[in-house]
């Protein structure tokens, strides 16, 4: 059941162009936590002085931290618990900085009923600029 009370436990519950969004602000502590969990301690994410000398001029979020919010939508909002994340194609288009509000949108692009799979267009934006986009495939429970 998604946040609107709709049961989405089978492929017949999904329709083309159904979508969901999630908003999240990136905090410095998010970068620290992600570095601890992932092992990606690149100083461009964690060290203000190092990052200031980079092409970005300041600390930048881990791309996969930002992309992980796509998974949060799938697992908790739409289509919701029980669906299996099969694949994700990701293209990083622009950096995300501390304090940025990311908006994640997933949209049903294709329904593969015989395989019980759904293809989603995935887009992450900051101030209406695409920072991450791609295509994901999920399998119905």
Q: Which CATH class is domain 11-139?
A: alpha beta
Question: In sequence order, which ranges of the chain are alpha helices (DSSP H)?
Answer: 28-38, 43-46, 48-52, 63-76
Predicted local confidence at residue 42, as pLDDT: 98
Distance (Å, rounded) from C-alpha 17 to C-alpha 109?
6
For residue 56, the 8-state DSSP code is: T
Distance (Å, rounded) from C-alpha 100 to C-alpha 109?
27
Q: Where are the domains of the chain?
A: 11-139
Predicted local confidence at residue 10, as pLDDT: 80
Q: How would you write the pLDDT of the chain (141 residues) with one tens digit per residue?
A: 455 545 467 899 999 999 999 999 999 999 999 999 999 999 999 999 999 999 999 999 999 999 999 999 999 999 999 999 999 999 999 999 999 999 999 999 999 999 999 999 999 999 999 999 999 999 999
User: How far are the Cα atoms of 42, 44, 63, 134 from residue 107, in angstroms, in the given order?
Assistant: 32, 32, 21, 11
Reported pTM: 0.91
Backbone angles phi, psi at 41, to 5 degrees: -105, 30
Predicted local confidence at residue 1, as pLDDT: 47
CB atoms < 10 A from the CB of 137, how many? Answer: 18
Are 46 and 33 in contact by the 8 Å Cβ rule? The answer is no
Predicted local confidence at residue 131, as pLDDT: 98
Are 59 and 35 in contact by the 8 Å Cβ rule? The answer is no
Distance (Å, rounded) from C-alpha 88 to C-alpha 127?
23
Axis crossing angle, helix 63-76 with helix 28-38, rounded to the nearest 10: 90
């Amino acid at each position: 059941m998604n946040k609107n009370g709709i049961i989405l436990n089978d492929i017949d519950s999904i329709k083309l162009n159904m979508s969901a969004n999630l908003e999240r602000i990136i905090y410095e502590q998010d970068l620290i936590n992600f570095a601890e969990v992932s092992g990606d301690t690149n100083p461009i994410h964690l060290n203000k002085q190092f990052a200031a000398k980079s092409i970005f001029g300041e600390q930048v979020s881990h791309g996969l931290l930002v992309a992980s919010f796509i998974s949060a939508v799938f697992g908790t909002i739409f289509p919701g618990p029980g669906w299996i994340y099969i694949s994700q194609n990701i293209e990083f288009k622009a950096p995300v900085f501390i304090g940025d509000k990311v908006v994640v949108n997933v949209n049903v692009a294709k329904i593969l009923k015989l395989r019980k799979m759904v293809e989603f267009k995935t887009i992450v934006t900051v101030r209406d600029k695409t920072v991450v986009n791609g295509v994901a495939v999920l399998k119905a429970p």
